[in-house]
Structure 1
Amino acid sequence: MYIFRLFKDSWQILAIAIVTGFLSGGSSASLIALISYAASNKSTSSLTTIAWSFAGLAIVVLVTSIISQVMLIRLSQNAVFKLRMRLSRQILSSELSHLEELGNPRLLATLTEDVQAVANGVYQMPFLFINLAIVLGCIVYITWLSWLVLLMVVSLAVVAIASCKWLLNRGEKLLALAREDQDGLFKHFRSITEGIKELKLHYRRRQVFLEQKLQSTAANYRLHNIGGLTLFATTSSWGQLIFFFALGFVLFVLPNLLAINSQTLSGYILTFTYLMLPMDNIISKLPHLSRANIALQKIESLGLSLGSRAELLTVPPEIKTSWSSLQLKGVTHTYYGNREDSNFILGPINLTLYPQELVFIVGGNGSGKSTVAKLITGLYIPETGEIRLDDETIDEQNREWYRQHFSAIFSDFYLFDEILGLENSALDYQIQEYLKLLQIDHKVTVKNGQISTTALSQGQRKRLALLIAYLEDRPIYLFDEWAADQDPVFKEFFYIQLLPNLRDKGKTVLAISHDDRYFHLADRIIKLEYGKVEFDKQHPYSR
């Protein structure tokens, strides 16, 4: 099973936990033998010896059970912790374009549902091992009583395992289909949360979405889950029926086939009765393990996909505070749509950016402005061509270092609820000054890096993101339609004062904008059309 791969780095600890688990289970089975022997023994002196043996075995059961469970619980939780961290690191180290192709619904489903399913499955493993040990111990005791009964038990076990395996395989296939449906459900749930305004404003769109999209996917998910869990429930009941059959065989048929004394018969009956609980526990935990197995396969599949597009992890050295030019030479990038004929090829792009200039990047929707911004900042890796910062060609060895030169606020920016990664003795003073400058000091306070609230209007959230960009103090700033959500007064303040002030402080400022009334403030205007630079020139009215 895939789930055992979680423990590949901790086999020694796992082995100890399994051994103690089997000792606990074996001791439990020995207690059954003692109970059976004591019930048929009339000697007082023998009963005293049996009582002390019983007490000793009970202590062994208690101690080994606790040791096994504690070790396996710690081991399993450590494995789940490592799994979460490994998956998070893989996502963060993968190429942005690849993550966008995979889509947020799949990533979220894996990080939440799949990891939780693995955690639930792993949690059952300590009890599974102990119950297995009890079953094996009981089988050893049955063997000691009679080889013929053992053959009968083995025959029943073969039938039980084969039939249960058939049911489990069918159930696992249905649960795997349900897991695929879950990716679709996450996509639709995202549509509800992010598209609520559009759905509320259009009745027909809302009904089609609910009845044809969401309901269809949810119904398939329900159908596959019901089918899979029904087969698992059938497996559990079928296993119980087989053991009842075995008990009935021992009680009613076996005495007619063999000469069995009452002590041996009571031992059989007691053992088979005791076996029913651990067997039921084992069978009832199989659905959890199957789901964990399916989830881990999805995680491994995603991990392989992320690993194939992983970037080299490096610790970046100090950035350049003084630089001469940033060049894009023959850079291209292909955006892959849902259909083969919808691919969009950007480039080849040839651009040179210089320190302390204010550049407006303009163009119609779909012209490639945001894609160019991601190429310039190093978030997208060029398919052809190269990016050079002064005399250094940017490649996988220095891309992490190169990205540290940029502070960017994209149109789909994310705002953290605390200021992370910034250490500065004057940080609190700077934050207060910027809050006043951005006119949100009456709405937001920052204490020990914790932002009091991010429940603001989109325009105010962008101002808060701008505050954090100011604090980063990078050589190059990029704003993707930053002013789109600002009121007219602050929009004018942004273009006329904030952007020129950044430039006058020695920063290079790249602004993607549709606000043509402010284009005259730019030192340069770069216009994109259909993924290519239509013109790149100094603005005639610039400084």
Structure 2
Amino acid sequence: MNLIYFLLRYSWGMIAIAIFAGFLSGGSSAGLIALISRAASRDLGSSLAIAIGGFVALAIVALITSIISQVMLIRLSQNAVLKLRMGLSRQILSSELSHLEELGNPRLLATLTEDVQTVADGVYQMPSLFINIAIVLGCMAYITWLSWLVVIMVIGLAVVAISICQWLLNRGKKLLALAREDQDVLFKHLGSITQGIKELKLHYGRRQVFLEKQLLSTVTSFRRHNVDGLTFFAATSSLGQLIFFFAIGFVIFVLPNLLSITPQSLSGYLLTFTYLVLPMESIISKLPLFSRASIALSKIESLGLSLASRAEVVKVPPQRKSSWHYLQFKGVTHTYRTEEPASNFILGPINLQFSPQEIVFIVGGNGSGKSTLAKLITGLYIPEAGEIVFDGEPITEQNREWYRQNFAVVFSDFYLFEDLLGLEDSNLDTQAQKYLKLLQLDHKVKVEHGKLSTTALSQGQRKRLALLTAYLEDRPIYLFDEWAADQDPVFKKSFYCQLLPHLRARGKTILVISHDDHYFHVADRIIKLDYGQIEYDKDLHL
């Protein structure tokens, strides 16, 4: 039912029209069965011409209303899935980064890919479901017209059958829900294959333990729950077919001994029940698909509620300031949470101030909190305590989006887009080529219509392309997280001794997370972190 509610949320009017058209189609089909039954029993008499006209009219109505119902439901379901994909993507992008990291990439990817596709597969089948239900109801109306006693007997039989089928369906749905939980873990392991392929290939023992214990255990559990769940659905499908054959046998062998039935009525019952086999088989065969779609939709809604609970205010930010005077952090703290609360990492309290046109190095050992501080500085993490003040204006949820627009950042785990998205400038290609020459990439990469000719480069060269994007963004504050780690010695020197001073000369503030102590003299200040605390903040000019 939640699939129907899902569609109703988008356009109950279109659903109502489509269902009404479907019922007309089903009723017309039932009328055709009635006419065929009477014609087969030679019970038309002098009304043959009327019957032929009625047959043609009913056939046309059944055809037109079936097309109308299916087309409307197809359009509605496609629009609903489109809005579901876009809505979920917007929710993810508007949720707090720390919350997304807690949820983990495997869950987000499984929902965005598998769950959305499963829901799409389910709603794509909704048109045929409604049409088949309408046909079943129309045929039942015809049977009622023939004899209400027969309908009561059929309903009694159906209640028993539905009770058994419902028990089987519930068992199957629970097992498929467990399979869906296994899928999250499976996505995590599949991510380990793609991201850790080199480490797995270099260590036979690690690879075998991963394959035989972790991956095999998960896929085995996933297969078992799927097989057991689908077995219950297969039993339901077979039982449904058997019930209809049982109903036909009941009409042929038992009903004539209980009631006085004319041959014409008996022919009508047989023809109707025989005709019902196909739509009922179609409905029952799609039950596993609808159950999977229902489970997937529940997972999507659960994720959506989780994302909504940590959603940020998203609105078009005002234009950045042309100049600024200071950026201050007052008692800012952030807790990096892990699965074990006792091992949570706390950064802060941080008390810092940055000024225009200075180069600041942020240094410290691994795990000291440098990357966490970078995310706090750029507004990606929201302080749990303290405040950030930018030119006297406290940063809150109302202006955080605007605050972030002041930073051009290249993180150590950067992502490189092939298109220079969001950079609308008629002179963009020319500017990009100038910077490519500065970054010594002009012989490998070209920019045409805001698109990079290739990103299939070494990690160091890809980082230069990320720096290209930062250059083109032309923002007041630049932050580089271990940018030089993958560069050759010659370009590393060029980065520290030429590129950074060049940016400062253009009026930029540059924050650099680095371990390259040979180049600390380039900085105006050095901030050292140790286990989440500022050990010292040293001005090299004093």
TM range (shorter): over 0.9
8 Å CA contact retained: 1:358, 1:503: yes
Matches within 5 A, 1:68-217: 68-217=69-218
* 1:401 and 2:364 correspond: no
TM-score (normalizing by structure 1): 0.98
Cα deviation 1:381-433 (Å, max 9, x = unaligned): 00000000011000001000000000000011000110111111221111110
Matches within 5 A, 1:426-445: 426-445=427-446
2:3 maps to what in 1?
3
Alignment partners' CA distance in 1, 2:362 and 2:237: 65
Shift of 1:5: 2.8
1:493 maps to what in 2?
494
* 1:503 and 2:504 correspond: yes
2:455 maps to what in 1?
454
8 Å CA contact retained: 1:333, 1:383: yes
2:25 maps to what in 1?
24
1:363 maps to what in 2?
364
The residue type equivalent to 2:155 in the other structure is: V
SS at match of 2:353: strand
8 Å CA contact retained: 1:41, 1:47: no
The residue type equivalent to 2:248 in the other structure is: L
8 Å CA contact retained: 2:331, 2:350: yes
2:240 maps to what in 1?
239
Alignment partners' CA distance in 2, 1:240 and 1:412: 56
Alignment partners' CA distance in 2, 1:526 and 1:42: 98
Alignment partners' CA distance in 2, 1:363 and 1:158: 71
* 1:421 and 2:422 correspond: yes
Shift of 1:3: 1.4
SS at match of 2:313: coil
Q: 1:43 to 1:213 in 2, by over 3 A?
A: closer
Matches within 5 A, 1:219-230: 219-230=220-231
The residue type equivalent to 1:181 in the other structure is: D
SS at match of 1:367: coil
The residue type equivalent to 1:193 in the other structure is: T
Alignment partners' CA distance in 2, 1:43 and 1:136: 25
Alignment partners' CA distance in 2, 1:530 and 1:180: 36
Alignment partners' CA distance in 2, 1:361 and 1:79: 48
8 Å CA contact retained: 1:358, 1:509: yes
The residue type equivalent to 2:268 in the other structure is: G
8 Å CA contact retained: 2:419, 2:452: yes
8 Å CA contact retained: 2:44, 2:51: no
Cα deviation 1:307-347 (Å, max 9, x = unaligned): 00000112111111211110011000000112121100000
* 1:54 and 2:59 correspond: no
Cα deviation 1:196-251 (Å, max 9, x = unaligned): 11111111111111111111011110000111111111110001111111110111
User: Aligned residues: percent identity?
Assistant: 74
Cα deviation 1:422-461 (Å, max 9, x = unaligned): 1112211111101111011111111101111111110010
Alignment partners' CA distance in 2, 1:441 and 1:263: 86
Shift of 1:286: 1.3
2:263 maps to what in 1?
262
Alignment partners' CA distance in 2, 1:22 and 1:127: 12
SS at match of 2:387: strand
* 1:468 and 2:505 correspond: no
Shift of 1:133: 0.7
8 Å CA contact retained: 1:109, 1:182: yes
More deviation, 318-327/294-303: 318-327
SS at match of 1:50: helix
The residue type equivalent to 1:510 in the other structure is: L
Alignment partners' CA distance in 1, 2:278 and 2:427: 66
The residue type equivalent to 2:412 in the other structure is: S
Shift of 1:42: 5.9
1:275 maps to what in 2?
276
Cα deviation 1:350-378 (Å, max 9, x = unaligned): 00001000010000000000000000000
Alignment partners' CA distance in 2, 1:278 and 1:242: 14
Matches within 5 A, 1:526-541: 526-539=527-540
Shift of 1:4: 2.2
The residue type equivalent to 2:251 in the other structure is: V
8 Å CA contact retained: 2:330, 2:352: yes
Aligned residues: 541
* 1:376 and 2:377 correspond: yes
1:386 maps to what in 2?
387
8 Å CA contact retained: 1:359, 1:526: yes
8 Å CA contact retained: 1:524, 1:536: yes
The residue type equivalent to 1:407 in the other structure is: A
Shift of 1:43: 5.6
The residue type equivalent to 2:506 in the other structure is: K
The residue type equivalent to 1:40 in the other structure is: S
SS at match of 2:423: coil
Shift of 1:306: 0.2
Alignment partners' CA distance in 1, 2:152 and 2:13: 34
SS at match of 1:537: strand
Alignment partners' CA distance in 2, 1:335 and 1:303: 23
More deviation, 324-333/38-47: 38-47
Q: Unaligned 5+ residue runs, structure 1?
A: none
1:288 maps to what in 2?
289
Q: Unaligned 5+ residue runs, structure 2?
A: none
Alignment partners' CA distance in 1, 2:153 and 2:490: 88
8 Å CA contact retained: 1:118, 1:293: yes
Alignment partners' CA distance in 2, 1:411 and 1:9: 42
SS at match of 1:310: coil
The residue type equivalent to 1:457 in the other structure is: S
Alignment partners' CA distance in 1, 2:254 and 2:72: 44
Alignment partners' CA distance in 2, 1:160 and 1:450: 61
Shift of 1:538: 1.0
Shift of 1:45: 3.7
Cα deviation 1:251-290 (Å, max 9, x = unaligned): 1111122222211111111111011111111111111111
SS at match of 2:419: coil
Alignment partners' CA distance in 1, 2:344 and 2:2: 37
Structure 1 runs of 4+ with >4 Å offset: none
